[in-house]
Amino acid sequence: MYKQLKADLALLFVAVGWGASFILTKTSLTELATYNFLATRFIIAFLLSSAIFIKEMLKIDKKTFKNGNILGIILFLSFALQTVGLNYTSASKSAFITGFNVVLVPIMAALMIKSIPKKKTIFSVFLAFIGLGVLTLNGSITGINIGDLYTLISSIFFALYIIYVGKFTHESKSVPLAVLQMGVVGFLSLITSFVFEKTVLPTQSNVWISILILSVLCTSGAYIIQSVAQRYTTPSHTALIYTAEPVFAAIFGYVLSGEVLTTKGKVGAILILSGMIITELDFTKIFIKQKRVAKVKE
């Protein structure tokens, strides 16, 4: 249980980093097209991580190589479909549908790897998903369009990604597994950029600073932490913790840009954080402890 708590806290740190990444990404996209940006971000992260963990990368085995490529392709498809979907749907609907993976992960994990979530986890997932809707949705969500379908498929791929990270990290070396997938995402993004965009290198110093922070902390650090942490926690816990990403995005938006979180947004954030806290509490131990205290008082 203690190892799982540490793993969940590490994943929460990843969610904090990804929450901060929204502002940095906005800065980067002022000069770079989407896939051009992804290629730059992930290739820098891959090269940096490979240099730091050169010994592990030179000793990579076939299983890790295969699994890293699978994860990289799944992660790229998730990014690509979400990006395409944003061209046809609103940002709020995209955020909500993407967050639907918090519901998909427990269901898919139960079917694919026989990982049956606990009752409190199911309740926490439900609570966090409602909170996600309250936090991200603005106005009506009626009317399904092609962008929503693309985003839903993206959410399915991200749910698959979380499940397979949990599976592969037990049968592969965690660090090379994470590093390799960054290279795959960077390479596929570069090819896509060459085909559909005008591929350039950034020229503005503030864009380079944003990309370097994103590459080092929000990509290299984040995916290595996730790969290691998921050895000690469940896919359902991971998906639930990641619902906090928009909460931290709102906090950083307020602190750094003066963006105001509405009352509705605050309620959504509280529901998400409540779901996360509930899943970490051991109610059996709490109940036993209370009974012991009651007996002592008697």
Report the number of distinct structural domains present in the chain: 1
Alpha helices (H) along 117-234: 119-136, 146-168, 174-196, 205-213, 222-229
Q: Stretch 155-171: mean pLDDT, rounded?
A: 93
Q: How many residues does the chain have?
A: 298
For residue 283, is pLDDT > 60?
no
For residue 51, is pLDDT > 90?
yes
Long-range contacts of 277-284 (CB under 8 A, 24+ apart): 278/120, 278/123, 278/124, 278/127, 279/120, 279/121, 279/124, 279/237, 279/240, 280/5, 280/8, 281/120, 282/1, 283/120
Q: What is the pTM of this model?
A: 0.83
Host domain of residue 227: 2-297
10-19, 71-80, 89-98: which range is least confident on average? 89-98
55-69, 70-84, 173-187, 232-246: which range is least confident on average? 232-246
CA distance 249 to 252: 5
Q: Stretch 120-137: mean pLDDT, rounded?
A: 80
What is the share, in percent, of the chain residues with pLDDT greater than 90? Answer: 43
3-12, 20-29, 47-56, 245-254: which range is least confident on average? 245-254
pLDDT at 76: 96
For residue 116, is pLDDT > 80?
no
pLDDT at 261: 67
pLDDT at 195: 95
* Residue where the block lists tokens 């966090």: 128
Q: Stretch 249-271: mean pLDDT, rounded?
A: 76
Q: Stretch 207-223: mean pLDDT, rounded?
A: 94
Q: Report DSSP letters for 19-77, one per residue.
A: HHHHHHHHHHTTTS-HHHHHHHHHHHHHHHHHHHTHHHHHT--HHHHHHHHHHHHHHHH
